Amino acid sequence: MEKQQFKAESKRLLDLMINSIYTHREIFLREIISNASDAIDKLAYTALTDDKVGISRDEFAITITRDKEGRTLTVSDNGIGMTKEEMEENLGTIAKSGSLGFKQAMEKNEDIDIIGQFGVGFYSAFMVASSITVISRKYGQDTAWKWVSDGADGYTIEEAHRDGPGTDVIMTLKADTEEEKYSEYLDEYELRSLIRKYSDYIRYPIKMEVTKSRPVEEPEAAEGEEAEDKAPKYESYTELETLNSMVPIWQRPRKDVTDEEYETFYREKFFDYNKPLRIIHSSAEGAVSFKALLFIPGKAPYDFYTKDYKRGLQLYSSGVMIMENCEDLLPEHFRFVRGVVDSQDLSLNISREMLQHNRQLTIIARNIEKKIKSELKSMLENEREKYEEFYAAFGRQLKYGTVSDYGAHKDSCQDLLLFYSHKQGKLISLKEYVEAMPEGQEKIYYVPGENKDRLAKLPQVETLSGKGYDTLLFTEDVDEFIPQTLMTYMEKSFCNASSEDLGLQTEEEKKAAEEKAEELKGMLTFVKETLGDSVKEVRLSDNLGKAPACMVPDAGMSFEMEKYMKRMNPEFAYPVGRILELNPEHDAVKAMQRLMTEDVLKAKDYAQLLMYQAMLMAELPLDDPYAYTELVCRLMN
């Protein structure tokens, strides 16, 4: 028999397939099953108007047969089948997509929906098969045809026999190699899991002979005989089993699905043994129609804050899984969300790159982002305890989201942030902070540091507290970047109370402070000269409450950030300028001032001591703890 050659473009694609452009060879099965399902769709559609079809809806099925000796895997369907010409056209030419043609022909009718245009689906079988035989009989014809190809060399086609309409795709698997064990595609367990993974929601049953075992009934022990305590015997038998569940949970109306069903689905699908914290089941109609079933996990997976964690949603087109982890559906700041999206509007192609620029996908992604935001917001407003649980797991991600890309995603994140309120003693949102601001308070005050309790004792916090103003205690690395990114929230600017002017002084108070600084200029110069390069500046402050001195960072920076940089990238870390603030009303400061004339050496020791104290309170490490100890001992003598 003469070999026919593939058309040029098909040949090229075939070469690509044989050398595998798919990273996951296993998807060939999904493609072949999806073709079978399409073919059944077509015959089922024909059956609506043609009673000669003679197959009832529940007889349609896809059958998988394995032959271990022959190394063949067969996928059969009782769908529409192909004529000789169609086989040549469809399997010999790639540019022509049968489904597409059919869809156009049936365009008028909404009822039928043919699974996406998998332009190169069939050929993917050559990733695992050295030779493929297709036996097909078109509905309405008596003859069947057999198409055989071993890929590269073209194909043959001859008359054959088949009972009833439909198609068998018989794949002879390639020989196993070191890297690839093709024979695993004959393994019952492997096939079962591939079908669950990729084709679970195909609308027709996918049946396969599976091996089962049952206990063998033993004859009753005869009377007088001791009934021995024997282990029961088992025998194995085979049974045709349906491997797919057919109706995806997200296609069912929300009211028909129980919480338990959602939870089971979530656990099985996403391998989390905790319950999801929130279930979002939504559907959209319009420019693009889709269904989404999303879950907010109750706990962060152990690898969540590492590079190993992969964000993304599972993407389906009419029940066929297209992509296991579609990153483009989920923004980075909501990467904790798990779920499934199904849309029949996606014109899908195997190329990931093409999917990335897909307009429909962009619309779906935007829609999903909005949905997640509004669900979280409603949880924050109405189910506070639950939200805090969520926030404990994923709050940090929202903070990163706020500051990432120079604040490009702040609209999605900023309203969802919580910080610890010194005044209220609990986590509050920025909105709650602003709404609780008393008359006269103009700024959102915060202090960065490692420990809430120590921050609460900062003199500035006490000063603010005295006026009835609240301070947010920022204890996470990323917190401090938030005011810098947001600049304002609800038109209020942020103020780092530990380093910036609190803005509390009236004009008169400011003037008085300036006069005081002028008056004590000699003391300030004395201290600066004594301390040398250890400090950048020495100045007075009237925000220090009971503390004699305080170390504050140079404008725009903070000690926390200095420490953070040192941890993240020591090479680029640089010290933040240290400014020593003195409380002129404090006895210790006054004592030093007195000693400046009576005992200069002692006054110098006092100045040093004040600096050390300020360093300790600011949680800054002492460069020379020995010098500090020596100093204290000298003063004690």
Between 82 and 418, whose beta carbon lies closer to ligand ADP?
Answer: 82
Q: Residue 171: which of 87, 71, 261 has the closest Cα?
A: 71
The answer for residues whose C-beta is within 8 angstroms of residue 29's C-beta and 6 or more apart is 75, 185, 191, 194, 195, 198, 199
Question: Does 73 engage in binding with ligand ADP (CB under 6 A)?
Answer: no
Binders of ligand ADP among residues 35 to 54 (CB under 6 A) are 35-36, 39
Between 203 and 299, whose beta carbon lies closer to ligand ADP?
Answer: 203
Binders of ligand ADP among residues 141 to 170 (CB under 6 A) are 167
Instruction: Please measure the distance between the N-terminal and C-terminal CA atoms of the chain and give it in whole angstroms.
Output: 112
Question: Does 122 engage in binding with ligand ADP (CB under 6 A)?
Answer: yes
Query: How far is Cα 241 from Cα 473, in angstroms, rounded to an integer?
Result: 60
The answer for residues whose C-beta is within 8 angstroms of residue 257's C-beta and 6 or more apart is 249, 281
> SS3 for 604?
helix
Q: Residue 145: which of 92, 83, 90, 88 has the closest Cα?
A: 83
Segment contacting ligand ADP by CB under 6 A, of 33-41, 196-204, 322-330, 482-490: 33-41
Cα dihedral 526, 530, 535, 539 in deg (nearest 10)? -20
Please state the closest distance from residue 307 (CB atom) to ligand ADP, in A. Answer: 36
Between 114 and 582, whose beta carbon lies closer to ligand ADP?
Answer: 114
Please state the closest distance from residue 19 (CB atom) to ligand ADP, in A. Answer: 18
Please state the closest distance from residue 91 (CB atom) to ligand ADP, in A. Answer: 6
Between 167 and 460, whose beta carbon lies closer to ligand ADP?
Answer: 167
Q: Tokens 């595998």 — which residue? A: 20
3-state secondary structure 264-305: HHHHHHHCCCCCEEEEEEEEECCCCCEEEEEEEECCCCCCCC
Binding mask 258-297 for ligand ADP (x = CB under 6 A): ----------------------------------------
Single residue of 6, 10, 121, 133 touching ligand ADP by CB under 6 A: 121
3-state secondary structure 143-179: CEEEEEECCCCCEEEEEECCCCCEEEEEEEECCCCCC
Query: How far is Cα 173 from Cα 378, in angstroms, rounded to an integer?
Result: 53
- Asked if 379 contacts 287 with a C-beta cutoff of 8 angstroms, the reply is no
Please state the closest distance from residue 76 (CB atom) to ligand ADP, in A. Answer: 8
Between 17 and 520, whose beta carbon lies closer to ligand ADP?
Answer: 17
Segment contacting ligand ADP by CB under 6 A, of 73-81, 265-273, 344-352, 588-596: 73-81
Cα dihedral 354, 356, 361, 367 in deg (nearest 10)? -170
- C-beta atoms surrounding 457 within 10 Å: 13
How distant is the alpha carbon of residue 575 from its chain centre? 36
Across 104-129, b (16+ Cβ under 10 Å) vs e yields eebeeeeeeebbbbbbbbbbbbbbbb
Q: Residue 75: which of 238, 185, 203, 201 has the closest Cα?
A: 185
- The H-or-E segment that residue 550 falls in is strand 549-553
Question: Does 77 engage in binding with ligand ADP (CB under 6 A)?
Answer: yes
Query: How far is Cα 431 from Cα 414, in angstroms, rounded to an integer?
Result: 9
Segment contacting ligand ADP by CB under 6 A, of 115-123, 298-306, 370-378, 528-536: 115-123
Between 36 and 430, whose beta carbon lies closer to ligand ADP?
Answer: 36
Between 88 and 188, whose beta carbon lies closer to ligand ADP?
Answer: 88
Between 117 and 534, whose beta carbon lies closer to ligand ADP?
Answer: 117
> SS3 for 377?
helix
Please state the closest distance from residue 72 (CB atom) to ligand ADP, in A. Answer: 16
The answer for residues whose C-beta is within 8 angstroms of residue 624's C-beta and 6 or more apart is none
Angle, nearest 10°, between helix axes 521-531 and 507-519? 60
Query: Which residues on neighbouring strands pair with residue 175, listed in sequence order?
Result: none
Single residue of 13, 29, 43, 82 touching ligand ADP by CB under 6 A: 82
Segment contacting ligand ADP by CB under 6 A, of 34-42, 219-227, 234-242, 364-372: 34-42
Please state the closest distance from residue 2 (CB atom) to ligand ADP, in A. Answer: 22
Single residue of 83, 90, 244, 608 touching ligand ADP by CB under 6 A: 90
Segment contacting ligand ADP by CB under 6 A, of 95-103, 148-156, 399-407, 589-597: 95-103
Tokens of 364: 């779906």
Please state the closest distance from residue 104 (CB atom) to ligand ADP, in A. Answer: 12
Binders of ligand ADP among residues 175 to 204 (CB under 6 A) are none
Between 118 and 334, whose beta carbon lies closer to ligand ADP?
Answer: 118
Question: Does 249 engage in binding with ligand ADP (CB under 6 A)?
Answer: no
Angle, nearest 10°, between helix axes 384-403 and 359-382? 130
Please state the closest distance from residue 35 (CB atom) to ligand ADP, in A. Answer: 3
Question: Does 118 engage in binding with ligand ADP (CB under 6 A)?
Answer: yes
Between 244 and 367, whose beta carbon lies closer to ligand ADP?
Answer: 244
Between 10 and 558, whose beta carbon lies closer to ligand ADP?
Answer: 10
For ligand ADP (CB under 6 A), the number of binding residues is 22
Between 98 and 205, whose beta carbon lies closer to ligand ADP?
Answer: 98
Between 100 and 284, whose beta carbon lies closer to ligand ADP?
Answer: 100
CB-closest chain residue to ligand ADP: 98
The answer for residues whose C-beta is within 8 angstroms of residue 367's C-beta and 6 or more apart is 284, 290
- The H-or-E segment that residue 376 falls in is helix 359-382
Between 85 and 529, whose beta carbon lies closer to ligand ADP?
Answer: 85
Single residue of 99, 244, 471, 499 touching ligand ADP by CB under 6 A: 99
Please state the closest distance from residue 10 (CB atom) to ligand ADP, in A. Answer: 9
Site of interaction with ligand ADP (CB under 6 A): 31, 35-36, 39, 77, 79-82, 90-91, 97-99, 117-123, 167
